[in-house]
Amino acid sequence: MGIGYRIKEARENLGLTQIELGNIVGVTGSAITNYEKETSHPKEQIIYKLMEALNVDANYLFQDAVKLPEKKNDVTLSEYNMIKRYRDLDQHGQDTVSYILNQETERVKQLKQATATVVEVTDSDSQGRILQYFHSVSAGAGEVIFDDVYTERITVPDRPQYRRVAYAVKVNGHSMEPLYHDKDILLVEPACEVNVGEIGIFNVNGQAYVKKLGDGKLISLNKGYGDIPLTEESLCMGRVVNSLKS
């Protein structure tokens, strides 16, 4: 992608036609067409007018002219605008964005680094779909995040209600009885947050839990187990869709 693609992307993002952009910068619509197709290139004074009209700068227009490793320089206009907005924040705002980005990066990293595993769980009237299957999630005192995984894989029924399910974990403990029992396999769809009253997978201080979300706490269904207070660093890792028996 070159400067022509960047001009077109920025123009379309603003909802301008080639003729309208040409009128703003003082050239014909055909000239804008040629710029975008890169059959001709705008002169220096037109480039400055284009940057002003499109609300972009030279870093955006000429980013593809800089030879960087493949895909490292492929910035969309929305990403570019997010960078500009980040630069306009004060130090507190930038620190907040960095904190959230670090938390989300770590959450995704934990999911990707966990070794995929599988157990055969199918039924006779549907084709199976293979999912990542992680060692365990605590229905008790907490599990280190997806530690000590199995070496198998899991196949679950290919049903519409499971289409958004991305991975599965095995219950370890009894705190979610009578709904979920020890060694049940939970089907989980990715979610950064769940509603109060829903059951999800949560990371609290590096420990993984399956619990019902309450107001500032994680709730155990088994009254013999206490609730777990949420902290500022607590993360939701997914919503429990259903359970299967191993």
Tell whether 151 and 216 lie within a shared domain: yes
> Can you give the residue range of the structural domain that contains 19?
3-88
Q: Considering its fold, how many domains does the chain have in total?
A: 2
Q: Is 208 exposed, middle or buried (0-12, 13-18, 19+ CB in 10 A)?
A: buried
CATH of the domain at 171: 2.10.109.10
Most confident of 25-34, 62-71, 84-93, 136-145: 25-34
pLDDT of the residue at 164: 80
pLDDT in tens, 74-115: 566 677 778 878 888 898 888 888 888 887 877 776 655 543
In a domain, residue 120? The reply is no
CB 154 within 8 A of CB 187: no
- pTM given for the model: 0.45
Residues 192 and 240 both lie in one domain = yes
User: What's the whole-number average pLDDT of the chain?
Assistant: 76
Domain identity same for 80 and 166: no
